[in-house]
Structure 1
Amino acid sequence: MTENRESATPARQPGLPELRPVGESPLQPPAQARSQALNDHELPRDRSQAILEAAKQVGALLKRKGHRFALAGSVAVYAHGGSGHLQHDADFCVRRADAEAVARTLAEAGLTVRTPPEDWLMKTTCLGQDVDFLFELAHRPVTTDLLALAQDVPVDSVHMPVLPPTELMRGLVEAFSEHYCDFGPALAVARALREKVDWEDLRGSCEDEPMPAAFFFLLERLDVIAPREEPR
């Protein structure tokens, strides 16, 4: 659920660890490990399946190494029963403080770590698909408390921590602004997860903002959610 994020030449960002491609020291893994890099696997023909497989590979890798993380984005929506038509990439939430440790784990598996100009994420490529590691959701930092909300959910055959539906929806709604108000993707998620989202909690946290308020009004008019009862 990332917005238009373009990859860039790796560069160190203020406040981020110095991350380098796997071909460079000190993150270069042994030759045998490089020969088994995840990107050497045969790619699935279907784009959505490729994104899903990339998420499974990376999630399993992070689990084995004991990292704290939570799956987010369209793959997380799919894990909660949403559409299998996945969007753009796979997203994982990690704490900024864990970025260096996660980067080393990825590099040891033969994955190149990149730091784009935006300082709220780092990126890699697995099975030909972009995988983003988010330090923020809608300008809110990923915290231990947020990761503690994650639910252990099967993503196809791989169990991993996945952000709950309310937090997935919150990340979408809180991102709306005068400069970004594409309701289409968020509407699809709202339809798919409406029975699993705590709409009262969500409205209470962001309905005072004009764009989220407009989105909730749209959901009411489309009968996705019930109108909010006004106090008497």
Structure 2
Amino acid sequence: MPPSGPRPLGAGVTARAAGDHRGRNLPPDHTQAILEVTKEVAAVLKGSGCPFALVGSVAVYAYGIPVRLQHDVDFAVRREDAEEVTRLLAERGVEIVEPPEDWLVKGRRRGEDIDLIFALAGRPVTSELLDRSVTLPVDSVHMPVIEPTDLMIGRLAAFSEHHCDFGPLLPVARGLRERVDWNRVREETGDRPMAAAFLYLLELLDVIDGHGDREDGRTDG
């Protein structure tokens, strides 16, 4: 029989380190580090005079939806502003990397990755998209954040047969549902089967209206 009595302090940690499934493969939470880099980059972008908007998981965080920030911070900028923006960031100590993809520039600051994106799911970043952004505080610093409907369209348009994990997007859709024009989401993603499947899932879960016939495309909450 195993010995009775209290377990030694740290026994659980040792077990997890040895391969306990509760402690395996949990990605690190870089939330505060990523937020600090977000604020630094936003300050440079605001000073540049070039339009931009925060996108990706940090934009979701800015809307008050609890997410673990693990990977990077993403900013949408116009392609014609890329050279000026990257020059200013490099002057501030950001390491700039030219990736093989032609739709973004990558940077790195204090160990955290920065993506400057010119196209969201294959769609060019335009002045019109950036003009629709919403100014929100991100860890006490105000900056433009991609508008919720545009955020949702971009996320859905990125789904494909090779990438269709609905799990991370479901709480985002729940959290933003009253701020999203779901009719416009349907119109702009109607030719994408994975997006249609996700929207149908939201209907089954009563997150959104199942008919898409409300005047503004939104739910009652």
Please, what TM-score do these two structures have when normalized by structure 2? 0.79
1:229 offset after TM fit, Å?
Answer: 5.3
RMSD: 1.8
Tell me, in whole angstroms, the C-alpha distance in 2 between the residues paired with 1:110 and 1:127: 9
Equivalent of 2:176, from 182, 193, 202? 193
Please, what TM-score do these two structures have when normalized by structure 1? 0.76
Residue 77 (str. 1) matches residue 60 (str. 2):
yes
Equivalent of 2:131, from 148, 157, 173? 148
Tell me, in whole angstroms, the C-alpha distance in 1 between the residues paired with 2:70 and 2:185: 23
Tell me, in whole angstroms, the C-alpha distance in 2 between the residues paired with 1:77 and 1:198: 16
Tell me, in whole angstroms, the C-alpha distance in 2 between the residues paired with 1:156 and 1:149: 21
Tell me, in whole angstroms, the C-alpha distance in 2 between the residues paired with 1:46 and 1:74: 13
Equivalent of 2:72, from 75, 89, 94? 89
Residue 166 (str. 1) matches residue 145 (str. 2):
no
1:157 offset after TM fit, Å?
Answer: 1.1
> Which residue of structure 2 lines up, in the alignment, with residue 212 of structure 1?
195
Amino acid corresponding to residue 135 of structure 1 in structure 2: F
Kindly indicate whether the alpha-carbon contact (under 8 Å) linking 1:72 and 1:162 is maintained by their aligned counterparts in 2.
yes
Structure 2 residues not aligned, in runs of 5+? 1-27, 214-221
Equivalent of 1:109, from 71, 86, 92? 92
Amino acid corresponding to residue 140 of structure 1 in structure 2: R
Tell me, in whole angstroms, the C-alpha distance in 2 between the residues paired with 1:170 and 1:54: 26
1:128 offset after TM fit, Å?
Answer: 1.6
1:178 offset after TM fit, Å?
Answer: 1.9
Structure 1 residues not aligned, in runs of 5+? 1-44
Tell me which structure has the larger Cα radius of gyration.
Answer: 2
Kindly indicate whether the alpha-carbon contact (under 8 Å) linking 2:107 and 2:113 is maintained by their aligned counterparts in 1.
yes
Q: Percent identity of the aligned residues? A: 58
Amino acid corresponding to residue 119 of structure 1 in structure 2: D
Equivalent of 2:115, from 132, 137, 154? 132
Q: Deviations over 1:106-127 (max 9, x none)?
A: 1110111111111111111123
Tell me, in whole angstroms, the C-alpha distance in 2 between the residues paired with 1:217 and 1:91: 28
Residue 175 (str. 1) matches residue 158 (str. 2):
yes
Kindly indicate whether the alpha-carbon contact (under 8 Å) linking 2:119 and 2:125 is maintained by their aligned counterparts in 1.
yes
Task: Within 5 Å, give how 1:1-150 maps onto structure 2.
Answer: 47-150=30-133
1:67 offset after TM fit, Å?
Answer: 2.1
Kindly indicate whether the alpha-carbon contact (under 8 Å) linking 1:72 and 1:91 is maintained by their aligned counterparts in 2.
yes
Equivalent residues, number = 187
1:223 offset after TM fit, Å?
Answer: 2.1
> Which residue of structure 1 lines up, in the alignment, with residue 14 of structure 2?
none
Partner of 2:83: helix, strand, or coil? helix
Partner of 2:96: helix, strand, or coil? coil
